[in-house]
């Protein structure tokens, strides 16, 4: 019996390994190709997501109240600084409104309904985060029933933070741009340089040590300098034009001296997300 059971154990281990490989391959393929996961997985995730809220809501509320107390301490200083900014902002806002109105009228004249910059926003709360070091991924409380579609860009505060990786009925997973897998942070972006030239490109990765987004293979002659703003270009799909990504921190030649490599400081603090906005393009 003992000899037999050893063989059987070996067989079980090998079968488990093979099944595990197969399941992983299938689920990665499904994740990359299909717009929504299989119905059973969606259903399961919805139920788990609802139960998770029982734990997540008190926990997040508790952390919210603790952080609001600590924020109270430096409110006075912040208030003084912000007052200055607000008076400047009022000016910009009025101008922005006038321009937006003018833009709308001009669009009507040329009979242009929706351009790349038009999008509507769905705001969502972060329920939980994947407890794994390999996936920087959060679960948000809006899903396909609220109009979320796979690959939509997600913003928080002033800038882009990631994209929708998986959509269930009532919750969805967001891959943050800090995630370094093959598909997480490939956004089409553009940079307007100081001389007014536009440089197009694709984000290529995230440098975890410096906390900066990298952008490779730029072959333009235009001079990109520190502080130039990087926004999404709206090319190639569901990302609208003009979402703020960050500022250029450093421009340097790549390893072979043929093209330029950029380091971009992200606009938002990516480690502390509570409320996010999903940008929905009108199509």
139 binds other proteins (CB under 8 A): yes
Of 126, 191, 245, 279, which one interacts with other proteins (CB under 8 A)?
Answer: 126
60 binds other proteins (CB under 8 A): yes
Largest CA-CA distance found in the chain, in angstroms, rounded: 87
Nearer to other proteins, 102 or 269 (CB): 269
Q: Which residue has the tokens 């480690």?
A: 271
Phi, psi (degrees; rounded to nearest 5) at 77: -60, -45
Q: How far apart are the two ends of the chain, measured CA to CA in Å?
A: 66
> How many residues in the shown chain lie near other proteins by CB under 8 A?
53
Q: Which residues contact 116 (CB under 8 A, 6 or more apart)?
A: 234, 240, 241, 242
Of 119, 124, 128, 152, which one interacts with other proteins (CB under 8 A)?
Answer: 128
For residue 86, CA distances in Å to 78, 90, 91, 244, 247 come to 12, 6, 9, 20, 22
Of 154, 165, 199, 224, which one interacts with other proteins (CB under 8 A)?
Answer: 165
Residues 77, 83, 89, 93: what is their CA dihedral angle, to the nearest 10 degrees?
Answer: 130
Nearer to other proteins, 76 or 134 (CB): 134
170 binds other proteins (CB under 8 A): no
Footprint on residues 29-58 left by other proteins (CB under 8 A): 31, 37, 41, 44-45, 48-49, 51-52, 54-56
Of 36, 117, 144, 180, which one interacts with other proteins (CB under 8 A)?
Answer: 180
How far is the C-alpha of 57 from the C-alpha of 63, rounded, in Å? 10
CB distance 154 to 239 below 8 Å: no
129 binds other proteins (CB under 8 A): yes
For 224-242, give one letter per residue: b (16+ CB within 10 A) or e: beeebebbbbbeeebbbbe
Binding mask 188-227 for other proteins (x = CB under 8 A): --------------------xx-x----------------
70 binds other proteins (CB under 8 A): no
Residues 202, 231, 159, 74: what is their CA dihedral angle, to the nearest 10 degrees?
Answer: 120
134 binds other proteins (CB under 8 A): yes
166 binds other proteins (CB under 8 A): yes
Footprint on residues 231-260 left by other proteins (CB under 8 A): none
**Smallest distance, other proteins to C-beta of residue 63, A:** 4
Binding mask 7-26 for other proteins (x = CB under 8 A): ---------x--xxxxxxxx
Phi, psi (degrees; rounded to nearest 5) at 190: -140, 155
Rounded to 5°, angle at Cα 137 from 130 and 41: 70
Binding site for other proteins (CB under 8 A): 16, 19-28, 31, 37, 41, 44-45, 48-49, 51-52, 54-56, 59-60, 63, 126-139, 165-166, 173, 180-182, 208-209, 211, 269, 271-273
């Amino acid at each position: 019996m003992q000899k037999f059971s050893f063989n059987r154990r070996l067989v079980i281990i090998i079968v488990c390994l093979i099944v595990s490989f197969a399941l992983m391959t299938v689920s990665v393929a499904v994740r990359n190709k299909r717009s929504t996961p299989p119905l059973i997985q969606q259903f399961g995730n919805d139920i788990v997501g609802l139960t998770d809220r029982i734990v997540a809501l008190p926990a997040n509320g508790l952390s919210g109240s603790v952080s609001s107390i600590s924020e109270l301490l430096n409110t006075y200083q912040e208030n003084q600084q912000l007052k200055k900014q607000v008076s400047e902002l009022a000016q910009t806002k009025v101008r922005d409104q006038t321009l937006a109105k003018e833009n709308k009228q001009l669009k009507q004249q040329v009979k242009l309904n929706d351009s790349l910059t038009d999008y509507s926003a769905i705001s969502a709360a972060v329920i939980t985060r994947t407890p794994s070091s390999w996936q920087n991924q959060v679960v948000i409380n809006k899903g396909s029933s609220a109009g979320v579609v796979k690959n939509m860009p997600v913003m928080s505060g002033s800038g882009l933070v990631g994209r929708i990786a998986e959509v269930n009925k009532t919750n969805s997973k967001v891959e943050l741009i800090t995630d370094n897998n093959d598909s997480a942070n490939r956004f089409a972006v553009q940079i307007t340089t100081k001389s007014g030239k536009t440089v197009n490109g694709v984000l290529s990765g995230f440098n975890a040590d410096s906390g900066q987004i990298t952008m490779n293979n730029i072959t333009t002659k235009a001079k990109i300098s520190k502080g130039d703003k990087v926004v999404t270009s709206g090319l190639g799909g569901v990302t609208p034009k003009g979402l703020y990504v960050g500022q250029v921190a450093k421009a340097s030649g790549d390893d072979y001296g043929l093209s330029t490599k950029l380091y971009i400081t992200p606009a938002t603090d990516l480690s502390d997300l509570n409320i996010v906005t999903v940008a929905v393009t009108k199509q």
